[in-house]
Amino acid sequence: MGFLSNQLSPQNFQDHLLKTLKVICQEQVQQPDNQVTVTLEATPTTPVTATITPLSFEAIVDQDKVFNTWLLEVTVTDATGAVETFEVTYQEDAVVCPFDLNQWPGQTIVQKHDVEFRIIGDPIVDGDDVTINFVINYCLVVAKEVLVRVNGAILFC
């Protein structure tokens, strides 16, 4: 005992505006020659190991460039097992996209995936300071929110 009707009949079709993302730049990024220095409470016993973990990032888009600022967690462990953890803000070099990213209207969305912070060599100890050299690898996607007009029927059952 159901109500049957042809929901896909022409009178049920109408225009709808859908919000979606239009990708305007997609780049595989490798930022070599990065360096961060942290100051420990006491001079560490060598050898020293370090890890870098990205916690978050903020991106600023200006014409054809994306400027990224990372919040990093840096953990340093010395030979005695003493561990110190720091939160460090790091500004990387600008990423250049082949298009003017401001030429399209709408909100700019910046996404990164496959992010890898790879430490290069051993940390450099200079008194209480430990310097860590690293490479950043990731895929950068810059998109704009756009409206798309679609003619379709909304099924109700």
Q: pLDDT by residue (tens digit) across 9-58?
A: 777 788 889 888 888 889 999 999 999 999 999 999 889 999 999 999 99
Q: Is 27 helix (H, G, I), strand (E, B) or coil?
A: strand
Exposure of 79 by Cβ count < 10 A (0-12 exposed, 13-18 middle, 19+ buried)?
exposed
| 136 vs 157, higher pLDDT | 136
DSSP tag of 59: E
Q: Got the DSSP string for 126-149?
A: ETTEEEEEEEEEEEEEEEEEEEEE
Query: What residues have CB less than 8 Å from 110, skipping those under 6 apart?
Result: 59, 61, 66, 140, 141, 142
pLDDT digits (tens, 9 = 90+) for 102-112: 676 777 888 88
pLDDT at position 63, please? Answer: 83
Q: How far is CA 52 from the centre of its chain?
A: 15
User: Interior CA angle at 124 toward 39 and 74, to 5°?
Assistant: 50
| Residue 1 pLDDT | 45
Task: Please state, for a pLDDT cut of 90, what percent of the chain lies above it.
Answer: 54
Contact between residue 18 and residue 148 where contact means Cβ atoms under 8 Å apart? yes
pLDDT for 146 beyond 70: yes
pLDDT of residue 64: 84
- CA pair distance 32, 133, nearest whole angstrom: 9
Say how far apart CA 23 and CA 101 lie, in whole Å. Answer: 10
Give the pLDDT confidence score for residue 85 in this predicted structure: 97
For 53-112, what is each residue's pLDDT tens digit?
999 999 988 888 899 999 999 999 999 999 999 999 999 999 988 777 667 677 788 888
The secondary structure of 98-122 as a DSSP string is SS-TTSS-S-EEEEEEEEEEEE-SP
Q: 75, 66 in Cβ contact below 8 A?
A: no
